Structure 1
Amino acid sequence: MKLAYGYKAFWETANKNYPDQLRRGGPLDMYPVSISTVVNADHSDRFAKPSDRGWKSSLNSKIFPERSTAIGALALTYKGLMCLKTPFDLALYTRLIWELQPRTILELGSLQGGSGLWFADHMSVLCEHPGEVHSFDLHTKCIHENAKHALLTFHHVDLSDVAAFNEKLLMRLPHPWLVIDDAHQQIFSIFSYLNRFLVSGDYYVFEDGPMRADKGIIDGLQLVEQSGFLIDTYYTDAFGSNLTCAPNAWLRKS
């Protein structure tokens, strides 16, 4: 039986290299995330404006009513590496990769590298012309040595500073793009920057942050709407209204 590399290896690396980042509420603090706390795909009103949608979600209230259930879902590993994706979202990403046939996947937030490896594996299987997966994070020493794939590249980038991105790299990457923001750092500033490189049909997914549905998130999604993005309600509502870690935030550029 193969054992998960999981949390122990991650904490050992993080404690050694980024002790200041592990403080409660810090960018590597997983405690608030994982411990404390079918529709017809072709229907005519599939794409909706963010301003036309409510924020009611059954993710926490119905599917994760117990603390242990949430922990179990978010503690899933992939090839022994931390992935931190719910089973619902993994199923949705599988469908989107097949449907979109992305040539580029950009992942913001690498953690241990498990989700980047998952995206690379699924791109190689589901895409007729597999492209590239690029994962960005400041804490690259936390990426496990087993997170390797021919399509996958990790980049050491401070996501609090959009100027840290390699503009030449972004300009050469083929479309369609799928961008997944799971870093929770300056999410709308990064969106505004990356939107310069996005074209019609590209997708942008904001994970976790929209579950708060506070004023900052709602105002930010109004900016997204003004930038020509619509919510793909197949992905927000496939398992129930906003039953995803990205409520109202599976977005397609018009």
Structure 2
Amino acid sequence: MKLASEHQAFWDAGHKNYPDQMRSDGFGGQLFSPKALDGIKAVLSADHSDRFARPSDRDWMSSIYPWTGDQRATKIGALAKTYRGLIIYKTPFDLALYPRLIWELQPRTILELGSCQGGSGLWFADNMSVLCERLGEVHSFDLYIELVHENAKKHPLLSFHQIDLSDVANFDEKLLAGLPHPWLVIDDAHVQIFSVFSYLNKFLVSGDYYVIEDNPVFANKEIIDGFQLIERAGYLIDTYYTDAFGTNVTCASNAWLRKS
């Protein structure tokens, strides 16, 4: 786990240089508080815990509904968020989670389904350019490609593709087959999500991630049946992301998925 290596460095340096503060009864202010040290230990032990779970073993309840979690002080909340002046429909929780996953996964390819104005694609491309040791590509797919702002199209790592996602035959199979791994796929289009998943799954390999935003929150029969398909395909829920701020406090309830 790439995240753990940096936390391990802090842990080792603390024990070497500040052993008294690192003790369970030590006092070192907020930096060495029991809660702060417990958080570090949680990262260090993440790969040796029950981090990954089968969809059939999980409840669909959420501690906080993420699309209203930031509306307590404003009337609009997440729906008014922008990035570099462009619309970005992401909750504050997910804006914190994606950079963590990009750092850990080091994706060579990010596939975004649903482009809107291009703000989220631009955000993913900027995160990749800062956080990834080897630069990759962001490919964003949408039917209404004319809504994408020119400023988003200028990013050297970001490409937009016009496609009707209601028919998976519209994907460019040659393009997908040539994209390097690891992959991070984000479905924010809400169009035939399980048909699209089944098609793209043919191109994903072990360790790739697939995030389905928004739709799983409803947990209706279509979602439950679809997640049985996902489980049969060998995907596990990464609870390190779904439960980082509380159970399923994310727009992708039970849907931060890692191919095993």
> Does TM-score exceed 0.5, indicating one fold?
yes
Q: Work out which of the residue numbers 201, 210, 218 in structure 1 matches 2:216.
A: 210
Contact 2:71 2:77 in 1 (8 A): no
Residue deviations 1:85-132 (CA, integer Å, cap 9, x gap): 011101100000000000000000000000000000000000000100
Q: 2:139 matched to which residue of 1?
A: 134
Contact 1:108 1:137 in 2 (8 A): yes
Find the aligned partners of 1:70 and 1:163 in 2 and give their Cα distance.
41
1:64 Cα shift?
A: 2.6
Contact 1:64 1:70 in 2 (8 A): no
Find the aligned partners of 1:98 and 1:150 in 2 and give their Cα distance.
20
Contact 1:59 1:245 in 2 (8 A): no
Q: Work out which of the residue numbers 65, 68, 79 in structure 2 matches 1:60.
A: 65
Q: 1:27 matched to which residue of 2?
A: none
Q: Within the alignment, does 1:84 sit opposite 2:75 as a pair?
A: no
What is the TM-score normalised by the length of structure 1? 0.82
**Aligned residue runs from structure 1 range 90-169, under 5 A:** 90-147=95-152, 148-169=154-175
Find the aligned partners of 1:62 and 1:198 in 2 and give their Cα distance.
29
**CA gap 1:123/1:68 in 2 versus in 1, 3 angstroms:** same
Q: Which amino acid in structure 1 is aligned with residue 243 of structure 2?
A: D
Secondary structure at the residue paired with 2:249?
coil
Find the aligned partners of 1:117 and 1:66 in 2 and give their Cα distance.
25
Q: 2:258 matched to which residue of 1?
A: 252
Secondary structure at the residue paired with 1:231?
strand
Q: Which amino acid in structure 2 is aligned with residue 152 of structure 1?
A: L
Unaligned runs of 5+ in 1: 1-37
Q: 2:4 matched to which residue of 1?
A: none
Secondary structure at the residue paired with 2:205?
coil
Secondary structure at the residue paired with 2:141?
strand
Secondary structure at the residue paired with 2:111?
strand
Find the aligned partners of 1:150 and 1:162 in 2 and give their Cα distance.
27
What is the TM-score normalised by the length of structure 2? 0.80
Secondary structure at the residue paired with 1:42?
helix
**CA gap 1:124/1:192 in 2 versus in 1, 3 angstroms:** same
Find the aligned partners of 1:213 and 1:242 in 2 and give their Cα distance.
12
**CA gap 1:80/1:48 in 2 versus in 1, 3 angstroms:** same
Unaligned runs of 5+ in 2: 1-38
Secondary structure at the residue paired with 1:146?
helix
**CA gap 1:63/1:239 in 2 versus in 1, 3 angstroms:** farther
* Higher radius of gyration, 1 or 2: 2
1:61 Cα shift?
A: 8.2
Q: Which amino acid in structure 1 is aligned with residue 187 of structure 2?
A: D
1:44 Cα shift?
A: 1.7
Larger displacement relative to structure 2 (52-61 or 89-98): 52-61
1:146 Cα shift?
A: 1.0
Find the aligned partners of 2:135 and 2:101 in 1 and give their Cα distance.
14
**CA gap 1:129/1:209 in 2 versus in 1, 3 angstroms:** same
